[in-house]
Amino acid sequence: MAKGTGFGKTILIGDQFVLEEVPAIVSAISFETVTTVERIAGDGWILEDNRIEVPGYKEKKKEQQARSIDRILEVMNIDVKKNPIKITVGGTLLAGSGVGASAASCVSLARALNAEFKLGLPIEEINRVAWQGEFPYHGVASGVDNTASTYGGLLLFQLIKGQQHFEKIKTPKAFEIVLANSGITANTALLDEFSERQKKENPDLFASRMKTITSQGQDMKKALEAGDLRTVGTIMSNNHKLLAEMEYSHEILDKMCKSALERGAWGAKVTGGGRGGYMVSLTPGKELQDKVASAFDKEGYKVIRATIGGS
C-alpha cells in the first residue's frame, strides 16, 4: 500500500483565461487530498471516495473522475488487469468547484501510484501526469491547478506560446484569506466553449478584456511582492466586476463577495472556473479572517480558512 497527497488551490486572478495566455496568480492552500493505492485480487481498479464534499459534487463528477483515473493509469503505463488495485480517496480538502479538487485528486493518485509501483518519477513528471489526468474534467487543461497542487506555494503561472511557465512569488509575510462555496457545482468542461463564444461574438471587446486582466495580474504581482495588500484587494474586487460583466460569476457569488466586503474584507472575487463554486476574500489578520468566515458559516456556506504567501 502507498499514499500520495495533493494540495488544494485558490487563484487570485487570471482563473478563467489561462488558455488565452493571460497570467494567473495561484496559491496552494494547506488542505490536501490524500489517496492510497493497494494491490487487490481481481481485475482492474475499484474506487472508494471518502472526500468531504459540496452536496452532489462527487456524483456530478463521477464519470469524469473515472475517465481521469483511466488516463492517469495509461500515461503511467500501469496495467491494472495484471496488477488490480483499490484506490481510496480522502483528506481535508473539501471537494467542490473552484478549489482544485480534481487537480489534487490527480496529483495525489499519481504520487501514490509512483510509490506503489516504484516508478521513481521526479516531481516534474508527477506534475505532467496529473495535468494529463485533468483533461477529462476540463476539456483542455491549462496545467495551472495541478502545478499549484504539485509544487505548493504562491505562483505566477502563464502559458507562453503553448508552453507552461511558472515562478514562485515571495511576499514580505503570509496573509489570511477566506474561501466560501456557493453550493453551485459548475461544469468546468463547458467554460472553454463559453469563452470561445464570447471571443467570436465580439473579438475586439474580448481582446480588450484580456489585456485588462493581464495588466491587473502584473500589477497584483508587484503589489504582493511589495506587501501592498490594500492594492491586491482592490485589484481582486475590480477583477470580479469585470468577470461578472462577462457572466463568469453567479448571483449567489456576487452576493457573497458583497457580503465579505461589507464585513471588512479588503477584496473579494469569484475563484476557479466561475459560474459556481468558490469565491475568495482577502482578510489579513486572524481577527478579520474569523469575522468573515464565521458570518459565512452562520449562513450555511462551506468555508475554508487559509493562510498563503510568505517566503
More confident residue, 57 or 108: 108
Same domain? For 14 and 145 the reply is yes
Domain endpoint, select from 168, 192, 220: 168
Reading the block at residue 228, the C-alpha cell is 501592498
CATH number at residue 57: 3.30.230.10
What's the total number of domains in the chain?
2
CATH number at residue 286: 3.30.70.890
Mean pLDDT of 292-298: 96
Mean pLDDT of 229-257: 93
Coil/strand/helix, residue 50: coil
pLDDT band for 190, please (50, 70, 90 cuts): low
HEC string for 146-193: HHHHHHCCEEEEEEECCEEEEEECCCCCEEEEEEEECCCCCCHHHHHH
pLDDT above 70: residue 193? no
Same domain? For 28 and 139 the reply is yes
Reading the block at residue 104, the C-alpha cell is 489534487
- What's the rounded Cα separation, in Å, for the pair 303 and 311? 26
Share of the chain above pLDDT 90, in %: 77
pLDDT band for 185, please (50, 70, 90 cuts): low
- What's the rounded Cα separation, in Å, for the pair 249 and 289? 23
Show the domain range for 63. 2-168
Reading the block at residue 23, the C-alpha cell is 497570467
Residue holding cell 503505463?
77
pTM (2 decimals)? 0.88
Domain endpoint, select from 125, 142, 168: 168
